[in-house]
Amino acid sequence: MAKITLDNLAHSYMSNPRGDQDFALKKTTHVWDDGEAYALLGSSGCGKTTLLNIISGLLRPSQGRILFNETDVTYAPTAERNIAQVFQFPVVYDTMTVRDNLAFPLRNRGASSSYIAQRVQEIAKLIGLEDDLNRKARGLTADVKQKISLGRGLVREDVNAILFDEPLTVIDPQMKWELRTQLKSLHHELGHTMIYVTHDQTEALSFADRVVVMSEGQVVQIGTPEELFEAPAHTFVGFFIGSPGMNLLDAQVEGDKATIGATEIALPAGFGTPVGKVQIGVRPEYTRLAASGGLPVKVNRVEDVGRHKIVRAEYFGKAINLIVDEGTEIGTDMTQVVFDPAKVNVYVDDWRVQGEAA
């Protein structure tokens, strides 16, 4: 088990990167605390897998260092790092039985056969494959194969970290939920550092203590699920997390007031007079429709999703989503959106700015 430090790490797949845009992973400095469960969240192609492969040593970074505890392992081969990694698509050794597959990483490390037998049995129980241990891995279905891959990742107890690269993509929803819960309890039990890559926010938020959000090769925010929801540090986080995502509107900000068109909106604190691309961001959960006192919008439609209603509206072509209680009647005269002043965030050039205490 180890604390993993990324020190000014960057990676480009090109041999002569010329600017920022050529980097799959932009300069990142970050410490993964020992024993925490992290989720690495971001859309496809944002550099999550690149970062993971650098940690496990499958990829050598173009710049920067990576340390396990205080040891520099930037150039250490994968085998020396003692890391477990589970890939997106199942990798099994076809000609081996399920038992041999699970035992393989232990055998390669020269563990005793009694220990291997006991450990394989435990893992098989965990992934629900106790009855299939003697079957050949060839010809099993994709989700069983993925469970085997998962099992191989978990079988070593002394690993420095376990990395999961969207491991549940091929597993059906019911089993997905079950395995995720098991992974989480396993984390509590064993205390391994776990990094779980996903593009599914539910998966990320339910698995991890801390979520690392990445966008275009950059870590944009690290925080608890609550922090990501209440105070997204970057417009991408606001937009990416939440369903629907945060409403972002261009505005002029002066002191504790924002102006959109002719409408004044109260802000929770003073922000001075920021320059650049200024936007305010409000979660759909903190908005309501009213007849007056808000931003005049055009309501396009109302979707009833059961627990609540989603109101799809627009303000001069810019979409605004509202989440209102199931019981709320929506009258035809209710064409203005009112924001909860305490929950309005201000963004300058996509980054959140902290208000001065009022």
Question: CB of 150: closest distance to other proteins in angstroms?
Answer: 12
Identify any residues that bridge with 303 across adjacent strands, giving them in sequence order.
Answer: 310
138 binds other proteins (CB under 8 A): yes
Map the footprint of other proteins across residues 71-130, applying CB under 8 A: 77-79, 83-85, 87-89, 91, 93-96, 104-105, 108-109
> Contact with other proteins (CB under 8 A): which of 149, 193, 198, 215?
149
Q: Tokens representing 110?
A: 């020269």
Does residue 169 touch other proteins according to CB under 8 A? no
Q: Is 141 in the site for other proteins (CB under 8 A)?
A: no
Could you say whether residue 12 binds other proteins (CB under 8 A)? no
Q: Which is nearer to other proteins, 124 or 337 (CB)?
A: 124
Which of 79/266 has CB closer to other proteins?
A: 79
Residue 185, token pair as written in the block: 């309890």
Binds other proteins by CB under 8 A, chosen from 65, 136, 257, 343: 136
Minimum CB–partner distance for residue 89 and other proteins (Å)? 6
> Nearest-CA neighbor of 210 among 189, 187, 190?
187
57 touches other proteins (CB under 8 A): yes
Encoded amino acid at 260, one letter: I
SS3 letters for 73-105? CCCCCHHHHCCEEECCCCCCCCCCEHHHHHHHH
Interface with other proteins, residue 154, by CB under 8 A: no
Nearer of residues 99 and 288 to other proteins, judged by Cβ: 99
SS3 45: coil
Cα distance between residue 146 and residue 170, in whole Å? 7
Asked if 157 is part of the footprint of other proteins (rule: CB under 8 A), the reply reads no
CB of 152 to other proteins, least distance (A): 7
- Please state, as a whole number, how many other Cβ atoms lie within 10 Å of the Cβ of residue 257: 14
CB of 42 or CB of 57, closer to other proteins: 57
Residue type at position 119: R
Q: Is 277 in the site for other proteins (CB under 8 A)?
A: no
Residue type, 212: V
What is the nearest approach in angstroms of other proteins to the Cβ of residue 334? 54
- Cα dist from 273 to 221, 250, 268, 353, whole Å: 25, 14, 15, 11
Q: Which one, 89 or 351, has the nearer CB to other proteins?
A: 89
Residue 328 touching other proteins (CB under 8 A): no
Q: State yes or no: residue 53 binds other proteins (CB under 8 A).
A: yes
To the nearest 10 degrees (0 to 180), the angle between helices 173-190 and 113-127 is: 140
CB of 23 to other proteins, least distance (A): 21
81-114 per-residue burial string, b: 16 or more CB within 10 A, e: under 16 = bbbbbbbbebebeeebbbbbbbbbbbeeeebeee
31 is a contact residue toward other proteins (CB under 8 A): no
Determine how β-strand 278-282 pairs with β-strand 345-348: antiparallel
The distance between the two most distant Cα atoms of the chain, rounded to a whole number of Å, is 76
Task: Give the shortest CB-73-to-other proteins separation in angstroms.
Answer: 14
Mark the segment that binds other proteins (CB under 8 A) among 136-144, 243-251, 266-274, 289-297: 136-144
Q: Which amino acid is at 248?
A: L
Could you say whether residue 193 binds other proteins (CB under 8 A)? no
Nearer to other proteins, 72 or 80 (CB): 80
- Phi then psi for residue 158, to 5 deg, are -100, 15
Q: Which is nearer to other proteins, 122 or 350 (CB)?
A: 122
Q: How does DSSP assign 117-158, residue by residue?
A: HHHHHHHHHHHT-GGGTTSBSTT--HHHHHHHHHHHHHS-SS
Please give the residue ranges that form the binding site for other proteins (CB under 8 A): 53, 56-58, 77-79, 83-85, 87-89, 91, 93-96, 104-105, 108-109, 135-136, 138-139, 149, 152-153
